[in-house]
Amino acid sequence: MQPAIQQYQPWPTIFQLLLKFAVFCLLAFVILNFVIGPIILHTSLGNIFDWYGPLEALNKSRHPDQSEVVYVGDSVGQQLLPRQIFPNSYMANGAKLVVGNTIICSNILSRESAVKHIVYISVPVALGQPFERERTYRNFMKPFFIRENFPHFSESLWTKIKEKPVAMLSLLPIIKVIGCFDDVNYSKGEAGNWHVLSALSIEYLKRLKTLADDAGVQLTFRAPPLPLSMRELTDDWGVMRAQAREHDLEGILGPYFDKIVYLEDDYFRPGILNGFQDAHLEPNYLQQHRLKLLQQLIPEDIYSISQLDEPALLIPIPKTGHH
């Protein structure tokens, strides 16, 4: 008797292949999001990204320096007090918004009882900028859109974030790393109104003030030297001054505007940024006058305890980004 010929059945084999593929995808997802991604995002390997500045400032705020004074701010502040040189500087750029700096300050205050002063150094344009910017996804969403920061997100901020649902995939570390959605653009394609405080900035300036008040910490805002043409184009920031009075922010922003020092435009980097002369200081001028500029900028009682290593001020300034 001849043995029965078994009929070829491909379906179990195909099912096995699909099962193996599914297991492979699951393992890849786990490894990429819980091993490789976090390693890149929480070490200096992340400096390959153009949004590394905000990410590094955020990571640094989780392990703050034991200082009585901390500095936060934008990319001009980063020129003056580079975070790579000064342990108590958490500067990066303005594109991380006032929201990002509020989260950084909250991290520091929740971990550091020695802090007595927060000094926020920023040009007015960066202080007031809206969420609706092309650079918001890379410089705010990528570094700051993580679960531990969600308690800091207001309803109005969530509303803005959800306008681009695909941006919320940046919650996954691997999405932050591979950059497949870097073309997400929150800008509405309209010219920015750069001489006003956006509603989101006003909301988070109030939150930051409350945070400092509750911690018994003095909050001081200072503007770096600005191009003289800015004063003329903004009527010495008349709209922002009025907004500060209207929203009970004059106590912190009144001195900020009153103490602005203006320099001829030649002392700044050539070019136009956000409709104004670029406010980044010309590198040679900055290198020669950085100590003097900081002594003029920072209140004397704060400067005296700032632990600023004056020889370090002569170290070549790291490359900075835009606002």
Return the domain boundaries, the chain: 49-306
Closest by Cα among 124, 123, 119 to 105:
119
What was the pLDDT predicted at 198? 96
Q: Calculate mean pLDDT across residues 70-85.
A: 95
Which pLDDT band holds residue 323 (cuts at 50, 70, 90)? very low
For 218, the 3-state DSSP assignment is strand
Is pLDDT above 60 for 11?
A: no
Structural contact between residues 75 and 322, judged by C-beta atoms closer than 8 angstroms: yes
Q: Half-sphere exposure of 216 toward its Cβ, with a 13 Å CA cutoff?
A: 5
What was the pLDDT predicted at 25? 79
Q: Calculate mean pLDDT across residues 142-151.
A: 97
Q: Where are the beta strands (DSSP E) in the chain?
A: 69-73, 117-121, 218-222, 226-227, 262-263, 272-273, 276-277
What was the pLDDT predicted at 151? 97
Q: Provide the whole-model pTM.
A: 0.89
Q: Calculate mean pLDDT across residues 130-138.
A: 94
Structural contact between residues 90 and 57, judged by C-beta atoms closer than 8 angstroms: yes
Q: What is the Cα–Cα distance from 76 to 279, expressed in whole angstroms?
A: 7
Q: What is the CA radius of gyration of the chain?
A: 24
115 or 5, higher pLDDT: 115
